Amino acid sequence: MNSDILNTEEAARYVRLGKPTIERFRLTGEGPKYLKLGGAVRYRRCDLDAWLESRLTRSTSETGSNGRSSHRG
């Protein structure tokens, strides 16, 4: 198995979030890009890294009232 391709549980562990959180982010479009392979959802490690990078902020003033970053990169 390619260690750069992760299932949802592995991806959640990689980004230090709960599995339900990453599943919710997938449904709302807030999460990282993912692959649909048949009925299976898979994440590429490079997409998880890019998503984490896009979530970086420098101060709390960079977040909106909903707690998400107002910066879209």
**Parent domain of 18:** 5-55
- Answer yes or no: is 36 within a domain: yes
- Is the model's pLDDT at 12 over the cut of 80? yes
Task: Name beta bridge partners: 31.
Answer: none
- Answer yes or no: is 67 within a domain: no
3 pLDDT tier (thresholds 50, 70, 90) = confident
The domain total for the chain is 1
Give the mean model confidence (pLDDT) for residues 15-40.
96
Contact criterion met (CB below 8 Å) for 31 and 17:
no
The enclosing H or E element of 65 equals none
- Is the model's pLDDT at 73 over the cut of 60? no
- Is the model's pLDDT at 32 over the cut of 80? yes
What residue has token string 């707690």?
Answer: 67
Q: What is the model's pTM? A: 0.77
